[in-house]
Amino acid sequence: MKWVAFVVPAIVYIAGASHEPASWDTAELQGVPYLLGISHPTGFPLYVILGHLWSHLIPIDSIAWRMNALSAIAMAVVCLAAYGVARELGASRVVALAATLWFAVTPNIFSHAVRAEAQVLAVMCSVLAIYAFVRWMRSGTDGYFIAAFALCGLGMAAHPNAMWVLAALSIGAATAKRRPRLRLVAASLLLMIAGLTLYAYLPIRSAYIVAHHMDPVASLAGAGGGIFWNYNDPRTPHGLWLELTGSESQTPAYFLASLNPVHLQAALAAFVTGIHAQYGTIGTVLVFAGIVAAAWRDWRTTLVLAIAGTAGLIFSVVYPNESDVERYRLLVSWVAVPFLGALTPRSRGALAVVLQTALVVILGVSAGITFDRQRGFFNRQPGEGGRWVINAVRPYVPRDGIIVTGWLDATSLAYGAYVDHSLPARIIVSDDSLRVQVYRRWAKEHRVFVLVDPHNVNALPGARDFAALDAYHELFAVQP
């Protein structure tokens, strides 16, 4: 039955995945791995390297779909781990499966499972680490302890948000019935650090890209490292610092602020509202009843799960530069599964059978209703997402032309220019500052176009209005 917890979500997610490039971060994460390039901070090296292998070894459908499918498989593994931890907390097979399938189709999980997302891979590593740690707490087998910390390191190499799981593992080790030996702790931490060495990919690959002239933007004075190929140019100390820290978005300051206990109340509130948003009122009541039941059975494991589900929320409520804060809160939905599973009656009498049957019915019906609300993901249209802007720009921008635009559309256009070559021989520059004087210097050797939202920009000095693509996209031609 446990494999049903993997196979069913995998099939559903793959069926709901788009075949077209998206926009924003999603388009970047669909394209960068295929090129073995450099993405926006923090670079996500495990995601890029694994995605490169995945997108080349599975030559099915579009590259965008392949990377969406990678998230689908990773999230299906997350579902399998949820089932496993629920079983460790005493859930029956049928209750664990019903709770897992409900989790699998909750809005936040479903929407991130069908698109390219580094956070999904990080969450996969995180929940496998939690599962391994719970197994260690219950069996005392050293291998599970080592695996937990090694997976935590890999998770941080996929996305640094996985670091918050380290708090759960550390407190769990300190409160476990059998304390880990110092040698075991040292070996586990070394393996965790080994996972972080994947970040060496950034300067090494960046140096290779520059040495082999792979980044088309490198020839443009003042452009810096180009998106998809060499974001922040991390072969340099300054570029590597920007890439690793995200300091351009003041991320280090917000990270330090998240360590302030004053934000714990907001994080706990986000946990409650997050559970309610995904599972509704009945589900929220059941989850919190499950927390009580789980704590009664095994307070140590419950503590680990509670910390794992809430620690990362502190950063999510502090950090303001995130337009999709819900991807930082995927673990909130996940920890609900073992807590729902903990509602399985411990006795075997007739009353217990009735209560378990009622619980399964509630979980199953709720899963069905929630799944029905996700039907829109299965209605995929050709040309959706970022494909339309690729098609719209192509007739106006000649080969060897430069397109400057904001991040939202730049990633779609870069996918077309560099990945599937549906926008061949164009150079894409992501720039929100509209440095027209810089672009005018480029215009001496190239045709340069700036794509803007006409609601925000009515005119560009040194550029003429060239074409209206739609109500939100105006193309300007830069004069040399």
Kindly compute the dihedral angle of the four CA atoms of residues 93, 96, 101, 107, in this order, to the nearest 10 degrees.
Answer: 180
d(CA 84, CA 69): 23
pLDDT of residue 251: 84
- Token pair, residue 139, equals 């069996």
Q: For 385, which DSSP code?
A: T
pLDDT of residue 215: 96
Phi, psi of 249 (to 5 degrees): -105, 15
Task: Taking the CA atoms of 438, 443, 447 and 449 in sequence, report the sign of the dihedral they define.
Answer: positive
d(CA 69, CA 114): 7
Task: Taking the CA atoms of 348, 353, 355 and 357 in sequence, report the sign of the dihedral they define.
Answer: positive
pLDDT of residue 306: 95
178, exposed or middle or buried, with CB in 10 Å at 0-12, 13-18, 19+? exposed
pLDDT of residue 339: 97
Q: What pLDDT, in 10s, does the model give residues 226-243? A: 999 999 999 999 999 999
Q: What pLDDT, in 10s, does the model give residues 247-268? A: 888 888 888 888 888 888 988 9
pLDDT of residue 51: 98
- Token pair, residue 77, equals 């593994």
Q: Enter the pTM of the model.
A: 0.95
Q: Are 231 and 25 in contact (CB under 8 A)?
A: no
Per-block average pLDDT, block size 10, for the chain (480 residues)? 94 96 96 98 97 95 97 98 96 96 97 97 98 95 97 97 95 93 96 97 98 95 92 96 89 84 89 95 96 95 94 87 87 96 87 89 96 91 92 96 96 98 96 92 95 90 93 94
Single-letter residue type at 273: T
Cα angle: 274, vertex 128, 179; to 5 degrees: 105
| C-alpha to C-alpha distances, 338 to 96, 192, 196, 229, 470, nearest whole angstrom | 7, 26, 29, 41, 48
Q: What pLDDT, in 10s, does the model give residues 12-66? A: 999 999 999 999 999 999 999 999 999 999 999 999 999 999 999 998 999 999 9
